[in-house]
Structure formats: C-alpha cells, structure tokens
Amino acid sequence: LKMIGRLYTVLCTQNAQLALANQSLEERVAQRTHELETANARLRTLSRTDALLGIANRAYFNERLEQACGLARRQNRPVGLVMIDVDYFKRYNDHCGHQAGDACLQQVAHILAAGVQRAGELVARYGGEEFVLVLPGARLGDAQASAERIRAAVQAAAIAHPDSPLGPCVTVSLGFAADMPRLGEDPEWLLRAADAALYQAKAQGRNCCCASPPTELAA
C-alpha cells in the first residue's frame, strides 16, 4: 500500500508538472502569435503608407478607389474625388532646398489628413507634390465644399514660400469630380476627370478649385 501511495504521489506530481508545462507552452504560443499578428499589421500599414508624409501611398489609394467605386455601384451612390497640387513647388525646392521641401509637403499632408471628416474618406500622396482625396458618397457640391475647405486651410496655415508668384505663402490648386460609377467601368475615369479639372485650375491662375468639365464625366 505504501508503494502504491508513493506511485500515486509521483504520478500526481508529474501530472501537475505536465499541466504547468502545457500552460507555459500555450502562453508562449499565444504570445508568439500576438507578436506575429502585430508584426504583420505593422507591415501592412507600412506597405500602404508614404514613408515621408505618413499618409496613404498611391498603391493603397488605387486599392481604396476601386473599393469605393464597387461599393458605390452596389449602393447606387456617387463617389467624389479631389486632386491637389502644391503651387510652384519646384520653385520652392530650388529656392529653399529639398529638406525644406520635404518639410513643406509634410505640413500640407498634415493639413489634408486633418480635413478628413467622414468614415471611408482617404487622403493619399499621388506622387511628388500631388495629393488625392477619395470621398465616398459625395456629390459634386460635396466635393467642391471639401476642395474649397482644403484650399482655404492650406492658405491659412501661412507656410512661407519665398519664391511664389502668387504671394508669400504656399497655396494649392484643386480639381474635383463626382459621379455615379457605371457597371464595368474602370475607376480611372474619375481620376481622369479630376485631373482635367486640376489642369483647368492651374490654367486659371492656381490657388483655386475647379470642377471637372462635363465632357470628362460623359466620356
């Protein structure tokens, strides 16, 4: 009986030790899984973010624009798009240097990001000194209001531009478009329309907002 008792005690001790070991292993696995998920989330964020400006990059913009147009088709809602260009940015870089130019773009990006007001909206760097704003559910009047708000906010920030023909501060030109996405249509149509409007804003003297020409949306 004493032998049986000792064996029982040994078995109980081994079972307790095994249970503790299993618990420790499960905790390590859970911790490692959490670390991997955190690392993957960080990598996804980095792949979608412009390294200099901390806002969405062009690749992620393309992805989100396609998603927004697909959802708009299903819900029978419009999509708005605003393209933004920093006026005379090359002259800013030439006069102030590229580091100052980077700092200028960071300030503009911060202003744009602060202006995102509704769920689903996205501001992204399109390339160089160009930015783009996706506005799900926005009609042309909504896109115009967003564009004018951005233009006024950048001007009010009074970022010094020593070599701008428009005045002492950085300004932006904006083109906007909005329409109902059509079945089978590439989202590029909306981008082309907003880009045409941006070209028109530059032609009209810059530091202004222009709507897409109707022919662009009808094309």
On whether the CB atoms of residues 150 and 111 are closer than 8 A, the answer is yes
DSSP class of 49: B
Q: Check if 129 is active-site.
A: yes
Non-local CB neighbours of 193 within 8 Å, separated by 6+ positions = 81, 177, 179, 212, 213, 216, 217
Which one-letter amino acid corresponds to residue 47? S
Which one of 26, 35, 66, 129 is the catalytic residue?
Answer: 129
Residue (of 156, 182, 186) closest to 171 by Cα position: 156
The DSSP string of 127-163 is ETTEEEEEEET--HHHHHHHHHHHHHHHHHHT-B-TT
Sheet of 172-179: strands edge to edge?
122-127, 130-136, 79-86, 172-179, 209-211
Give the catalytic positions in this structure.
129
